[in-house]
Structure 1
Amino acid sequence: MSLADETSEDHGGHDEHHLPAVEDWPRGFGEASWWPFITALGATGFYVGAALFVLGRGEEAIVGPMTGPYVFIGSAFVFLGGLYGWLYHAFVVNFWEHGTDGHGGGAMRLAMISFLGTEVATFGAGFVYYFFIRAGTWPPTGAELPPLVSSLVLVNTAILVVSSFTLHFAHTALLKNNRKRFMGLMAVTLLLGIIFIGGQGLEYYEFLVHENFTLTEGIYGSAFYGLTGLHGLHVTLGAILIGIVFVRGLLGQYDAERHTSVSTVSMYWHFVDAVWIFLVVVLYVGAVV
């Protein structure tokens, strides 16, 4: 996924800033970077660390009790390092050049669609796990579920849905070269995304502190925090991307003919919006009916 946008300029002279790279990378993708693979490796480590944490518990633990946490923390550094390198090469290096050539727009959108396909598989695995445990005794034996469907959840859901509309109309305004409306709606979208993240943090605080509902609260606790935490990570990344687009917009990087970053980030944001609605229906409402 790249934040680079299309222009007719050839940036072959800037290859020294794009290491690691090779020369025969498909035109439109800019470079053959290792950073997405490093980021994916770090993300994979989260799951490995969680699995080792489970295997390290109980009287017949297979690994040491701290093996899982160590792997998880190490993976976090790998993930954040890969993410930094990815965003740096996709955004900072070509910041003043306004992005890649005009043939890259379609390729970037196709890459985003492919990326979202992998995200569907990732969330799908989590939902399969939840449906598996939901088919058994419910509520799970010994588990005390907190009041899941609250005014906070409903407000947070409304905020995320509205942010999807504001981003859509921001993109529409850009296509009409209405830069003032584009920037105003982008600012609103970014603000709503930050509020949503804060709302989810407040929900976690209420569950952990006041309701004593933790990750180790049976199989539902692991499913709840696993899926909502994964979604929160995606929303945080989306907010970062929107923030980058907003800064580039302030510097006049976009117009009706140059908007690939806006388009791909919009696709990503609409995706996390749709996943959240599905989460609320299945994980919140579905747990109490």
Structure 2
Amino acid sequence: MGTATDSEDEEGGLGPPAGWDFPRGLDESSWWPFIAAVGATNLYLGAGLFIIGWTDYSLVPKFLGPLFFGGGAFLLLVGIFGWLHQAFVEPYWERDASVLDSGVHRLGMLLFVMTDIATFAAGLTYYYFVRLGSWPTEELPHLLTPVLAINTVLLVGSSFTFEYAHKKLSGGEHKRFLAWLGVTLALGLAFVGGQVYEYYELIVREGFTLSSGLFGPAFFGLTGLHGLHVVTGVILMGILLVRGLMGQFGAGRDTAVRTVSMYWHFVDAVWLVIVVSLYLGAVYGA
């Protein structure tokens, strides 16, 4: 005699609770979102501990910040990868195009972008608040450098190459899609390299750090948060490229490409806001 759970499964109901099938979830049951959430929490906690630990007062040990930040970043990436693999990669060939092209996925990315807008808005609000006081432009580091211009061109250009890659995929040109996606990935990696070089110049050459007045925390907080988003986008594009090489995309079967492109365009737009507000605004007092 069957149980209520058995009858629900026969009628197409949800699978067993997440704890029964770890690490592989069935239907909506999955532990991966929780792992990603724990990672994100520890990542932000680590960033806060790092800032507190490196102030003149040193309220917490300096090693706690990097420890929580590194562990949180690892868990976040593992959670995202497992979540995406379970939801999209593993069952790809078992689903028809109508399911894979569901607008629910794009809505989910849109909601995520909206929450991220709130995060960056909070950081920019802090920056504008500290700008209300006196602003000693003579103490600012050299912000308007060729690296900034090159990085901006790289990131803006990557949005166009991503769209062109998607266009080629929609037209059935799979090899050209992979080629232009590879170009976009290379541009994203170059941006990350440029930001690392910029940090090296500011910290090592000019001695500009998190503890450099009011502008230091604002600068490294906002550019670091954006850099983290760029790194996440590069990882997502790498996953797309691997899946594309496996033949998992085509015209009408491109939901993952659409959602990642939405995220990447958002990251691009935020960078332009940061350039105008943080770089140009700091130097020219805009």
Shorter-chain TM-score: which interval?
Answer: 0.7 to 0.9
Partner of 1:183: 178
Counterpart among 25, 41, 47 of residue 38 in structure 2: 41
Matches within 5 A, 1:192-203: 192-203=187-198
Partner of 2:281: 286
Partner of 1:220: 215
More helix by share: 2
Counterpart among 72, 80, 83 of residue 69 in structure 2: 72
Q: 2-side partners of 1:132 and 1:100: how far apart? A: 51
1:37 partner letter: F
Counterpart among 91, 99, 106 of residue 103 in structure 1: 99
Instruction: Please tell me whether the aligned partners of residues 167 and 266 of structure 1 are also in contact (alpha carbons under 8 angstroms).
Output: yes
Q: Which has the higher contact order (CA 8 A, sep 6+)?
A: 1
1:261 partner letter: A
SS in 2 for 1:147: coil
Q: 2-side partners of 1:288 and 1:86: how far apart? A: 42
Partner of 1:5: none
1:89 partner letter: Q
% identical equivalent positions = 51
Partner of 1:172: 167
CA 1:106/1:125 → structure 2, altered by over 3 Å: closer, same or farther?
same
SS in 2 for 1:48: helix
Q: Return the offset for 1:223.
A: 1.0
Partner of 1:28: none
Instruction: Please tell me whether the aligned partners of residues 152 and 199 of structure 1 are also in contact (alpha carbons under 8 angstroms).
Output: yes
Q: Return the offset for 1:69.
A: 4.6
Matched, 1:146 2:147: no
Q: Return the offset for 1:246.
A: 1.5
Radius of gyration: which is bigger? 2
Q: Return the offset for 1:132.
A: 0.9
Matched, 1:264 2:259: yes
Q: Return the offset for 1:139.
A: 2.6
Structure 2 segments unaligned to the other structure (5+ residues):
1-11
Q: 1-side partners of 2:266 and 2:38: how far apart? A: 22
Structure 1 segments unaligned to the other structure (5+ residues):
1-9, 24-30
Partner of 1:158: 153
Instruction: Please tell me whether the aligned partners of residues 17 and 93 of structure 1 are also in contact (alpha carbons under 8 angstroms).
Output: no
Instruction: Please tell me whether the aligned partners of residues 213 and 221 of structure 1 are also in contact (alpha carbons under 8 angstroms).
Output: yes
Q: 2-side partners of 1:81 and 1:246: how far apart? A: 18
SS in 2 for 1:149: coil
Counterpart among 130, 133, 138 of residue 136 in structure 1: 133
Which stretch shifts more, 173-182 or 254-263? Answer: 173-182
Which stretch shifts more, 40-49 or 261-270? Answer: 40-49
CA 1:100/1:44 → structure 2, altered by over 3 Å: closer, same or farther?
farther
Q: CA RMSD in A?
A: 2.9
Number of residue pairs aligned between Structure 1 and Structure 2: 267
Question: How far does the alpha carbon of each residue in 1:110-147 deviate from its partner, in whole angstroms, 9 at most, with x for none?
Answer: 1110111111111111111111111111138xx83111
Partner of 1:120: 117
Q: 2-side partners of 1:92 and 1:17: how far apart? A: 18
Partner of 2:7: none
Instruction: Please tell me whether the aligned partners of residues 174 and 255 of structure 1 are also in contact (alpha carbons under 8 angstroms).
Output: yes
Which stretch shifts more, 34-43 or 272-281? Answer: 34-43
